[in-house]
Structure 1
Amino acid sequence: MDANLIYEGKIIKIEDTQQVTDRFKKRAFVVETDENYSQLIQAELTQDKCSLIDDYKVGDKVRVHFNIRGREWNGRYFTNLNAWRLERVGAPAANNAPVGDLPPPPEEDAVGNDYEDDLPF
């Protein structure tokens, strides 16, 4: 089941793209939600979606569309928030165009079947 989930907040950290293998890359960023008990949410962009955050900077308010991905590795369980679309919040309509329109297809082999490294992610 792929659930399209959305949250909003302010970007507080953008990491560099990591080339995990010759066929897989990822980029993490952190958003602080704007609520009574704010949350620090780390999401991940993968493959061609890594560049979606290039036009954003720390302090920008964004709406993040993401899917939850989970897997087991050596008896441990890992959960990732896989972002596939970013939108500016509070920007003028002309500058509020969404970046990344469709959810990505499932990444069956991004970490699974023929991933030969021993890292869990």
Structure 2
Amino acid sequence: MEIRGKVHEIGAIQQVTESFKKRDLIVAYAENPQFVEYIRFESTQDRVNIFDNLAIGDEIEVSFNLRGRPWTNKDGVTTYFNSLVAWRVTKLANTGAAASAPGFAETPAPIDITSSGADDDDLPF
């Protein structure tokens, strides 16, 4: 799977155990520019260095795998976790290739729905 967005945050490498390390990347994804989503990707082991050449604000394309797993606590309650595991990150040039990505420059300011002055019973969705 791939997704295009803008680098929002680059995490430090975390040494979880002696044999396991990971790193996070937060990408601002604006399929709908009014509602920007902040998506966390992770890289593990020998792939933690794929975020090294990135800077905040870079337009990128992330190739990733979607992983899920169950975890059962001591009381027998099962919870499910999902992970987006990045395996390649490509910087997009500020050319026509990046123009097809959702635009952040035209992202409007947030709308204040609390002071609409209209009927307060109308929900915004």
TM-score (norm 2): 0.67
User: Which structure: larger Rg?
Assistant: 2
- Structure 1-normalised TM-score? 0.69
1:34 corresponds to: 30
Q: Give the aligned length.
A: 88
Change (3 A) 1:10 1:70: same
Matches within 5 A, 1:44-59: 44-59=42-57
Match of 2:79 among 71, 76, 79: 76
1:90 aligned onto 2:124:
no
CA drift at 1:35: 2.5
Counterpart selection for 2:14 from 12, 18, 37 = 18
Q: Deviations over 1:8-58 (max 9, x none)?
A: 100001110111111111100100013223211100011010001111111
Superposition CA RMSD, Å: 1.3
Q: Secondary structure at the match of 2:21?
A: strand
1:72-113 CA distances to partner (integer Å, 9 max, x unpaired)?
112111100000000011257xxxxxxxxxxxxxxxxxxxxx
Tell me: higher relative CO, structure 1 or 2? Use CA pairs within 8 A at least 6 residues apart. Answer: 2
Look up the equivalent residue of 1:79 and give its one-letter code. Answer: N
Moved over 4 A (4+): none
Q: Name the amino acid aligned to 2:45.
A: Q
Identity of aligned residues (%): 40
Deviations 1:51-72 (CA, angstroms, capped at 9, x unpaired): 0111111111100000001111
Query: What one-letter code is carried by the residue in structure 1 that aligns with 2:69?
Result: R
What SS does structure 1 have at the residue aligned with 2:36? coil
